[in-house]
Amino acid sequence: MPEDRILKRAAAYSVLLMACVLLIPFVLKLEKGKVTYAGIFPMLPTTISTMLPISEKESIKPLSYQEDPNCEQNAKQQIPGGISEDIKERLGNNFIVVEKPSHLSNSAMAELIDESVDRRIRFIITDSFETKIEENQIYRMYQGNYFKGKPESEIHTKDTTSNQASTTGSNENSPDKEELENITVTDCIKSLQVNSYAYPENECFKTEITLELNKTYAYLFFEDDYNYYISLVRPKDIYDKIIVVDAGHGGYDSGTYSRDFVYHEKDMNLSMVLELKELLDKENIKVYYTRTTDRGLTLNQRVNLANDVEADLFLSFHCNANDERGVHGTEVLYNEKQNDWTRMNSKDFAAICLKEVVKEIGLEDRGLVPRSKDVYIVGEANVPVALVEVAFMSNQGDLNFLTSKEGKQKVAKGAYDAILSAYKKLGQEDKGQMAVMR
């Protein structure tokens, strides 16, 4: 009968459908075990196997591994999905975890932007659907401590400000200055902001997480089905050669200027650095630039960057000025407090810079100038530092050279040769040290 055949076929399809339904949990379990690894910094596709909504969890107070030997394991279990052994090996001891939104499309993109001179990173998720991340979905482990959500220092600062506004007396429950400082150093994050934006014209949504850190790190980025992972790494453990290049002044601070006020030092410094950047981009050297645009920076930001990354060399570009129009030429400032270093010091690096720059640009050699006492970035640098005063903007001849395209290129070439010569000397010193150790 035709009806019997139809019923039998329907029954067979039903059995097949039930089998597929039973297999789905097994397939999902396998997919959850997969880990996706991403490189450093670029826009990266977010690969999603299956996303299940993750319920909100209570805020967890910082735990110390030293106080509880089981703390590390317990803390890692609090992170959604746990942390696989694969990921754990790559993360190291200090890292940040961002829990993925409960709904992401296959076209979602993740981008990590390093703003090193500001000790800040921005993590941006772009998707065609609206994504939302709360502050308590951001975790970190740092120096044996586990944290979640807003930094303790930020919370206490806010509470203390509120207490001071509401009472003129002292608050027995508010932390004193020493306690606040202790809180700050236990967490790698100093401030945390989460913002979401809609872009109707592009049919996309962005969630931007801005993290101010306690210092500048190198960052490794990984992800799996549950989380994004940002490993905080000592730059020296990744890069063989590190240099910080600084364009002096900038933004609100114009530095010195030409006598007719047409040319400003900040622009001269930046243009020379950008010429140097074109040359250094071809080298296998990690270069941190304090600025590549006309922006204002504090002296602290400049010197902190060099010290944070433990730079091999710290080179700062400046222009000079004098009331006497006849004064002209090139001089290099150095930190004489480093003179007793057995390895390359500030004076050694400054001498190399003076030699190579003067040889290339042909201006008068005005020599080396010790200036640790009254030039902040020179005196506070814990790495070999050279501040090159390229030429005098108060002298017409020097100014003509500085404002010419050829002049800027020559300065850059001289600085480039100085950097390569300095690294050659560092290599020779390292070889000598190895020979002594043997």
- Asked whether the predicted pLDDT for residue 434 surpasses 70, the reply is no
Between residues 372 and 10, the one the model is more confident about: 372
pLDDT in tens, 126-171: 998 888 899 999 999 998 889 999 997 665 544 444 444 444 333 3
Distances (CA, A) of 58 to 79, 96, 151, 231, 267: 12, 18, 15, 24, 51
List Cβ neighbours of 351 (8 Å cut-off, separation of 6 or more). 332, 368
Cα Rg, the chain, nearest whole Å:
28
Give the pLDDT score at 319: 98
Q: Which tens digit of pLDDT belongs to each residue from 349-403?
A: 999 999 999 999 999 999 999 999 999 999 999 999 999 999 999 999 999 999 9
Token pair for residue 230? 């940002």
Q: What is the pLDDT of residue 432?
A: 65
**How would CATH label the architecture of 242-437?**
3-Layer(aba) Sandwich (3.40)
Write down the domain spans for the chain: 34-151+187-233, 242-437
- Pairing between β-strand 120-127 and β-strand 109-115 as defined by DSSP bridges: antiparallel
The alpha-helical segments, DSSP class H, found in 60-151 are: 71-78, 85-91
Q: Is the pLDDT score of 68 beyond 70? A: no
pTM: 0.78
What is the number of other CB atoms lying within 10 angstroms of the CB of residue 184? 17
Q: Which two tokens stand for residue 74?
A: 């317990």
